């Protein structure tokens, strides 16, 4: 089965990111494909490289980045939600006259078209968070 995943909550305010990550790993380990995870609303906060969780806490950004690197999962952050929350890649930073970017490795910024494409191409689109 081919899955798309939608994450709507931030990594440290709600369990949705943890649950989505564990679902993705379990699906891949069971022989399924997770081809895209779309981060929307506060979920875009999973994709900042500037978060520094305490050593005894999970590092959701690193877990997602590792999943992208090892399994080729496409991690897409909604551009509008990201801009509202100050998450920028190099192109968006330059376009808006900012002095740097803060997107984590393995993530990319794009529009809602990527979410619609995931819904169309996936056998199932699974949503985590409100």
pLDDT tens digits, one per residue of 33-71: 999 999 999 999 999 999 999 998 899 999 999 999 999
- pLDDT confidence bin for 94, thresholds 50/70/90: very high
Return the CATH number of the domain spanning residue range 2-128. 3.40.1260.10
128 vs 43: CA distance, rounded Å:
9
Q: Is 23 left (phi over 0), alpha (psi -120 to 50) or beta?
A: alpha
In the chain, where the domains are located: 2-128
Task: Give residue for tokens 């819904």.
Answer: 119
C-alpha 10: how far from chain center? 10
- pLDDT confidence bin for 114, thresholds 50/70/90: very high
89 vs 117: CA distance, rounded Å:
22
SS3 35: strand
pLDDT at 125: 98
Question: What's the Cα-to-Cα distance from 122 to each of 46, 70, 117, 125, 127, rounded to whole Å?
Answer: 22, 20, 8, 6, 13
Active site residues: 78
pLDDT averaged over every residue in the chain: 96
**pTM for this entry:** 0.96
- pLDDT confidence bin for 119, thresholds 50/70/90: very high
User: For residue 78, what is the enclosing H or E element?
Assistant: strand 74-78
% the chain with pLDDT above 70: 100
- pLDDT confidence bin for 124, thresholds 50/70/90: very high
pLDDT at 65: 98
pLDDT at 64: 98
Paired with 34 in beta bridges are 3
């Amino acid at each position: 089965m081919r899955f798309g995943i939608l994450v709507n909550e931030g990594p440290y305010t709600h369990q949705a990111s943890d649950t989505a990550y564990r679902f993705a790993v379990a699906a891949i380990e069971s022989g399924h494909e997770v081809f895209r995870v779309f981060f929307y609303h506060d979920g875009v906060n999973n994709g900042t490289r500037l978060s520094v969780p305490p050593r005894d806490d999970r590092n959701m950004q690193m877990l997602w980045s590792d999943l992208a690197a090892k399994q080729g999962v496409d991690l897409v952050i909604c551009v509008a939600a990201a801009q509202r929350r100050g998450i920028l890649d190099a192109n968006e930073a330059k376009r808006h006259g900012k002095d740097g970017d803060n997107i984590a490795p393995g993530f990319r910024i794009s529009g809602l078209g990527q979410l619609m494409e995931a819904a169309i191409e996936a056998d199932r689109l699974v949503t985590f968070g409100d």
